[in-house]
DNA sequence: GTTATTGCAAACAATTTGCATATAA
DNA sequence: TTATATGCAAATTGTTTGCAATAAC
């Protein structure tokens, strides 16, 4: 997500939260604003650290509660890399999406998008005889 | 994996473990034997329960250590469904593999395989400019 | 005023680790 | 005999929850 998309995400999210009857409270707002600035994957701990650094409110409890809410509303995506920590990232409201490659050397996670892969996944529902509502692809790779 | 493939997995695993210089010890053997009987996803807790039920050795610590070893040797696959528990399953030594669909209604996880999807993933390495060493695909779906 | 939201601290659950003992090679 | 593997129990880690105080509407 580029700066524009992030801005759109922020507006969209605020609207959805308001629409859900939730209040514009300090803690959750700080979390949402923070996510609106980060398009890459962040852990709850990352968010906690950043908020503390900039003097924003947001206890651990609040951060987890906010992330849970955002996830339920489809505003963030939870990504379980398998190292025991959950990572989150904003969901582009335009529907664009990407997947992740875990680099075996560094452990870094980098996003990627691939049209052919999406095409293959699109056809899956019909081939399997079910309505596919979501998908995740995780690659493990090392630099060629 | 059918009964035949499971039997092959068991033999293969024992060979790989021996080849790695590891001993044929009671705890790890019980875990391997158990996995050789289960082709579907199991949690460490599942394994602990079954072993205890049948009077086999295998403490929590041993089970986790065995699973870690098997995972490092590529004999089992770790699957993080995102609910805080890791699930494991034997890796078919023939190279065949499948992915998983999480059914939204029941929460059940069922395996599936799809050639076109595999083809798309195969091409990914070149398109991304890296050597892809592994991949996982998780679908969320509901019955059509 | 009411009700959602917060922060703290305690509670939890899954997994990991230290260490003395047991055991395969 | 000697290094690996085990079991127990304690420690860690990420996440959740109870509850009284606080702030949004």
pLDDT of residue A81: 73
Are A106 and A64 members of one domain? no
Of A50, A68, A90, which residue constitutes the final position of a domain? A90
Are B68 and B124 members of one domain? no
Are B13 and B78 members of one domain? yes
pLDDT of residue A71: 96
Confidence of residue A83 (pLDDT cuts 50, 70, 90): confident
pLDDT of residue B93: 92
Percent above pLDDT 70 for chain A: 100
- For chain B, list residues whose CB is within 8 angstroms of any CB belonging to chain A: 78, 80-82, 86, 101, 104, 112, 114, 116-117, 119-121, 123-125, 127-144
- A112 CB neighbours in chain B (<8 A) are 128
Compute the C-alpha angle A87/A89/A91, nearest 5°: 145
B10 CA, D19 C1': Å apart: 53
Residue B51, pLDDT above cutoff 80: yes
A7 CA, C21 C1': Å apart: 61
CATH of the domain at B125: 3.30.1490.190
Are A78 and A118 members of one domain? no
- The runs of H, that is alpha helices, within chain A are 3-19, 26-37, 44-53, 60-72, 115-128
* Residue pLDDT, tens place only, A18-71: 999 999 999 999 999 999 998 789 999 999 999 999 999 999 999 999 999 999
Interval B19-48 mean pLDDT: 94
Residue B34, pLDDT above cutoff 90: yes
- A129 CB neighbours in chain B (<8 A) are 144
How would you list the strands of the sheet with A86-90, edge to edge? A42-43, A86-90, A76-80
Phi/psi of residue B24, each to 5°? -85, 75
Are A7 and A35 members of one domain? yes
- DSSP state, residue A92: P
Phi/psi of residue A75, each to 5°? -90, -25
Query: Does the beta-carbon distance from A114 to B134 stay under 8 Å?
Result: no
Interval B115-137 mean pLDDT: 93
Q: Is the CB of A78 under 7 A from strand D?
A: no
pTM score > 0.85 for this model?
Answer: yes
Nearest to A117 among B80, B121, B141 (CB): B121
Confidence of residue B1 (pLDDT cuts 50, 70, 90): confident
Are B110 and B66 members of one domain? no
* Residues spanned by the domain of B106: 99-141
Nearest to A123 among B116, B124, B141 (CB): B116
pLDDT of residue A52: 95
Residue A21, Cβ neighbours under 10 Å: how many? Answer: 6
pLDDT of residue A44: 96
pLDDT of residue A110: 87
Confidence of residue A88 (pLDDT cuts 50, 70, 90): very high
Nearest to B114 among A80, A124, A139 (CB): A124
> Which nucleotide minimizes the distance between its C1' and the CA of A28?
C5
Taking alpha carbons only, the member of A74, A49, A62 closest to residue A23 is A62
Cα distances from B32 to residues A120, B51, B74, B94, in angstroms, run: 35, 11, 13, 18
Are B107 and B83 members of one domain? no
For residues A20 and A70, the answer to whether their CB atoms sit within 8 Å is no
Q: How many domains are contained in chain A?
A: 2
Query: Does the beta-carbon distance from B142 to A131 stay under 8 Å?
Result: yes
Are B83 and B137 members of one domain? no
Report the relative pairing of strands A86-90 and A99-103 from DSSP bridges.
unpaired
Residue B79, pLDDT above cutoff 90: no
Query: Does the beta-carbon distance from A82 to B80 stay under 8 Å?
Result: yes
pLDDT of residue B103: 84
For residues B139 and A124, the answer to whether their CB atoms sit within 8 Å is yes
For chains A and B, CB pairs below 8 A equal: 109
């Amino acid at each position: 997500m580029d700066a524009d998309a992030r801005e759109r995400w922020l507006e969209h999210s605020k609207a959805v939260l308001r629409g859900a009857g939730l209040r514009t409270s300090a803690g959750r707002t700080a979390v949402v604003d923070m996510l609106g600035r980060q398009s890459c994957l962040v852990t709850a701990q990352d968010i906690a650290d950043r908020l503390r650094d900039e003097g924003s409110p947001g206890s651990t409890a609040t951060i987890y509660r906010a992330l849970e809410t955002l996830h339920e509303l489809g505003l963030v995506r939870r990504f379980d890399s398998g190292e025991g920590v959950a990572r989150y990232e904003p969901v582009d409201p335009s529907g664009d999406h990407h997947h992740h490659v875990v680099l075996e050397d560094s452990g870094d996670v980098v996003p990627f998008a691939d049209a052919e892969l999406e095409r293959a996944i699109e056809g899956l529902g019909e081939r399997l005889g079910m309505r596919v509502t979501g998908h995740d692809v995780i690659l493990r790779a090392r630099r060629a």
